[in-house]
Amino acid sequence: MRHHIVDTFADAQCAGNPAAVVQVPEFPAGTEMQATAHRIGLPTTAFVVPNRAAEYRVRWFTPYKEINLCGHATIASARVLLTGSDVTRLTFVSANGVLHAERLDDLIAIDLPTSSLTECAPPPGLLDALGTDAVTCAVSGDDVLIEVESPTTVGSLRPDFAALAAQPFRGHIVTARGGDGVDFVSRTFFPALGVNEDQVCVTAHCKLIPYWGRRLGRDRLTAVQLSERGGRLELRDAGDRVQVLGTAVLRDGVHDDRAPQLEGLTG
């Protein structure tokens, strides 16, 4: 299938997180979409189907599995669909709920439900798999969040991905208080989904925003994801919803899924 590629959260310092966007009149069979996402080889491929004016149905696939929510691929979809259009706001309907995205000057903003966290002791084997100690640990849905002592610790992690994949979690979010104009930093690992490290994970910030908002006493935050490509995010906490803002750079041309990209994918 022909698709667009968008680098989300990319700027002069950060190459961001790439996603593919496939526009189709109706969703193909799930096996066909999964095979297409595997051939494209980017961290996530979004399939979007027009529903009504300014509204689309959406499904997301990593190269190995369908997932129930992907923020950066939704931002990428909004960039593709809003380019050349007078429309500024879109609605995306998924099996996991409704998302809203809008163009704000040069940024794309996405609105998502916030995620609650429950503090806990680190599960057996988790810190050994990550290769670090924890300041605190919390679970949220099927993800686990670990705060460590510094941005240097976050940036220097070299996890044992096979051991992480054996943990009872979809994702592993490691974070620390930031500095130099950044409120916090993070990295996110999803080996159970076939993506060892997600370059910039929007859904992780649905957990990170309330976590750091409470600690810092603010509802507007700035974050940097310290992955290889990196990404910078502007964040707003609106109680039961969060807003994530970032750049979304549309690459030139329309691409063919017969030529695998394999870019930004470490799994």
Question: Is a pLDDT exceeding 50 seen at residue 267?
Answer: no
Tell me which residue of 88, 74, 19 sits closest to 244, measured CA to CA.
74
Instruction: Report residue 85 as tokens.
Output: 């259009």
CA distance 244 to 235: 5
Tell me which residue of 228, 166, 168 sits closest to 197, measured CA to CA.
228
Burial class (CB in 10 A: 0-12, 13-18, 19+), 2: exposed
| pLDDT in the model for residue 143 | 95
Q: Which residues contact 64 (CB under 8 A, 6 or more apart)?
A: 38, 193, 194, 195, 267
| pLDDT in the model for residue 181 | 86
The pLDDT confidence band at residue 13, using thresholds 50, 70 and 90, is low
Question: Is a pLDDT exceeding 70 seen at residue 250?
Answer: yes
The region of weakest confidence among 37-46, 48-57, 193-202 is 193-202
Q: Which residues contact 259 (CB under 8 A, 6 or more apart)?
A: none
Q: Hey, CA dihedral for 19, 57, 208, 177, is it positive or negative?
A: positive
% the chain with pLDDT above 70: 94
Strand partners, 173: 145, 188
Mean pLDDT of 163-184: 95
CA distance 153 to 215: 19
The pLDDT confidence band at residue 263, using thresholds 50, 70 and 90, is very low
Contact call for residues 72 and 203 (beta carbons, < 8 A): no
pTM, two decimals, is: 0.82
Q: For the chain, count helices (H), then strands (E).
A: 6, 19
For residue range 81-113, what is the model confidence (pLDDT) as tens digits? 999 999 999 999 999 889 999 999 889 999 888
Question: Is a pLDDT exceeding 80 seen at residue 261?
Answer: no
Three-state SS for 151?
helix
